[in-house]
Amino acid sequence: MLNTIKTDEHSPVMNTYGRFPITLVKGKGSYVWDDKGKKYLDYTSGIATCSLGHVPDKVQAALEEQLHTLWHCSNLYHIPIQEKLANILAENSIFDGAFFCNSGAEANEAAIKLAKKYAKGQGNEERTEIVTFKRSFHGRTGTTLAATAQEKIHQGFTPVTSGFRYLSFNDEAALEQIDNGKTTAVLLELVQGEGGVNVAKVDWVKKLAALCKEKDILLMLDEVQTGIGRTGSLFAYEQFDFEPDVITLAKGLGGGFPIGALLAKEKAAAAFTPGTHGSTFGGNPLASTAGYATVNAILEGNILEHVKKVEHFILNKLYDLQQEYPVIEEIKGIGLLLGLEMKNGAAEYITALRERDVLVLSAGEKVLRILPPLTTSEKEAAEFIAAFQEVLEEKKN
Ligand SMILES: *Cc1c(COP(=O)(O)O)cnc(C)c1O
């Protein structure tokens, strides 16, 4: 039956993605199957989304129960499971308030609105600008594409929304340009996921945080990709020794179910009052159930400790491979958000790995991005390493 569905260039699905030539129809744990029954090791996790692997038992059970109870009721009513999700996030972070939406871009839209509203509430009417960083990625909506400091994302969509100022990532000199008297917030990824798996320097971020605090500029982290255990702590900021005012979440939050969130400290959260922001679907009973079950499973299953263990296992093997194969120019990332800068670009390695039934991604032209489920075993990691070594050996000549 599936063979009768058109997936070629005649498909009515718009052509917004350069799709890989496979059709995935089933998943369990770290593996997915295509429509011909072929099994792949999925080290993309649906772009850092299926953190507990595919169709994780605990989230499946929670969703099945909710399917029989209530799917949707809108935010005009209290939603107990949404409260529970907000509580577990607040209890395990430095934040006091949560707003729920459906995606990463929407979470960043909410953060951008919150920053503007916050400045006005402080009597800083002139503070309307938000600083973001080169090679960042914050989403594809009209405003988040403008927040994204990459020319190729803006192309064809000018004039992009105004009010963003772009500075260099990890650059000392950029710190002097943060406050120009008009800045209300800084929006930053601690690990630039789409932009090449670039990790922020701890000292630089700490200086940035101190500066923001001094000037009453909100420090907002885009943890859409780094959040919910991806880096080996529930949130990446925990490993950087400073406190952000606001973070945004999405990808890993629902274990594969679409949900996004904005978390904020009280002083910023207070800027949103009834009628200032909203979302029809945001945090609905099904999405909140997936979110709560996912976060709970990560915390109760000691998954964060496991991520660090597997990270060390993979990194050690990768450093060994780098000794042997200098085409690996750089190994980057934290936790299970890892990047390999490949001398001749990442594309040919991604294809060759797929031919060996292993799925990985790129981050820009040169970086091969590895995003295993947080639950992946050392055995599976060894399977990835073995396939990668074969590919490196094959391409050596
Ligand atoms: C994926 C991503 C987004 C956009 O999320 P969507 O759910 O696709 O809107 C924003 N920021 C970062 C850091 C991301 O990785």
Main-chain dihedrals φ then ψ at residue 149, nearest 5 degrees = -90, 60
103 lines ligand 1 (CB under 6 A): yes
254 lines ligand 1 (CB under 6 A): no
Q: Which ligand 1 atom sits closest to the C-alpha of 141?
A: 9
**Mean pLDDT, the chain, as a whole number?**
96
pLDDT tens digits for 64-77? 999 999 999 999 99
Say what the pLDDT of residue 177 is: 98
For 207, the 3-state DSSP assignment is helix
250 lines ligand 1 (CB under 6 A): yes
Q: Which ligand 1 atom sits closest to the C-alpha of 193?
A: 15
Report CA(205)–ligand 1 centroid distance (Å).
Answer: 21
Say what the pLDDT of residue 203 is: 98
Q: What residue segments make up the domains of the chain, in order of their start?
A: 2-56+302-396, 57-300
Report CA(386)–ligand 1 centroid distance (Å).
Answer: 31
Residue ID of nearest Cα to ligand 1 atom 15: 225
Q: Which ligand 1 atom sits closest to the C-alpha of 258?
A: 7
Q: Which residue has the tokens 């080169």?
A: 134
Query: Structure tokens of 298?
Result: 């990560």
137 lines ligand 1 (CB under 6 A): yes
Is the pLDDT confidence value at 9 over 70?
Answer: no
Report CA(105)–ligand 1 centroid distance (Å).
Answer: 6
Q: Which residue has the tokens 């990668």?
A: 388
Residue among 100, 112, 133, 137 to mutate when testing ligand 1 (max atoms within 8 A of CB): 137
Answer yes or no: CATH 2.60.40.10 is held by domain 57-300.
no
CB 79 within 8 A of CB 69: no
End-to-end CA distance of the chain: 43
pLDDT tens digits for 272-307? 999 999 999 999 999 999 999 999 999 999 999 999
311 lines ligand 1 (CB under 6 A): no
What is the rounded distance in angstroms from the CA atom of residue 187 to the CA atom of residue 113?
A: 12
Say what the pLDDT of residue 1 is: 45
Task: For the chain, state the CA radius of gyration.
Answer: 21
CATH superfamily of 2-56+302-396: Aspartate Aminotransferase, domain 1 (3.90.1150.10)
Which strands, in side-by-side order, build the sheet including 97-101?
A: 97-101, 260-264, 246-249, 218-222, 183-188, 129-133, 164-167
Report CA(73)–ligand 1 centroid distance (Å).
Answer: 26
Q: Once rounded to an integer, what is the mean pLDDT over residues 83-107?
A: 98
Q: Which ligand 1 atom sits closest to the C-alpha of 47?
A: 1
pLDDT tens digits for 233-244? 999 999 999 999
Is the pLDDT confidence value at 396 over 50?
Answer: yes
pLDDT tens digits for 162-184? 999 999 999 999 999 999 999 99
Q: Once rounded to an integer, what is the mean pLDDT over residues 355-367?
A: 97
Query: Structure tokens of 77?
Result: 């009513």
Cis peptide before 372 (omega within 30 of 0): no
Residue among 17, 144, 226, 251 to mutate when testing ligand 1 (max atoms within 8 A of CB): 251
Is the pLDDT confidence value at 3 over 60?
Answer: no
Is the pLDDT confidence value at 206 over 70?
Answer: yes
Report CA(47)–ligand 1 centroid distance (Å).
Answer: 9
pLDDT tens digits for 305-315? 999 999 999 99
109 lines ligand 1 (CB under 6 A): no
Q: What percent of the chain has pLDDT over 90?
A: 96
222 lines ligand 1 (CB under 6 A): yes
In order of 323, 362, 363, the CA distances from 345 in angstroms are 18, 9, 10
Residue ID of nearest Cα to ligand 1 atom 10: 138
pLDDT tens digits for 40-52? 999 999 999 999 9
What is the rounded distance in angstroms from the CA atom of residue 388 to the CA atom of residue 390?
A: 5
Say what the pLDDT of residue 10 is: 79
225 lines ligand 1 (CB under 6 A): yes
Report CA(261)–ligand 1 centroid distance (Å).
Answer: 12
pLDDT band at 339 (very low <50, low <70, confident <90, very high): very high
Q: What percent of the chain has pLDDT over 70?
A: 97
133 lines ligand 1 (CB under 6 A): no
Report CA(225)–ligand 1 centroid distance (Å).
Answer: 7
Q: Once rounded to an integer, what is the mean pLDDT over residues 4-27?
A: 85
| Burial group, residue 357, by CB count within 10 angstroms (0-12, 13-18, 19+) | middle
What is the rounded distance in angstroms from the CA atom of residue 106 to the CA atom of residue 103?
A: 5
Chain centroid offset of residue 189 CA: 9
Q: Once rounded to an integer, what is the mean pLDDT over residues 54-73?
A: 98
pLDDT tens digits for 368-378? 999 999 999 99
For 246, the 3-state DSSP assignment is strand
Show Cβ contacts of residue 303 under 8 Å, excluding neighbours closer than 6 positions. 51, 52, 229, 297, 374, 375
Say what the pLDDT of residue 70 is: 98
Report CA(144)–ligand 1 centroid distance (Å).
Answer: 9
Say what the pLDDT of residue 7 is: 59
Show Cβ contacts of residue 87 under 8 Å, excluding neighbours closer than 6 positions. none
46 lines ligand 1 (CB under 6 A): no
Report CA(36)–ligand 1 centroid distance (Å).
Answer: 31
pLDDT band at 96 (very low <50, low <70, confident <90, very high): very high
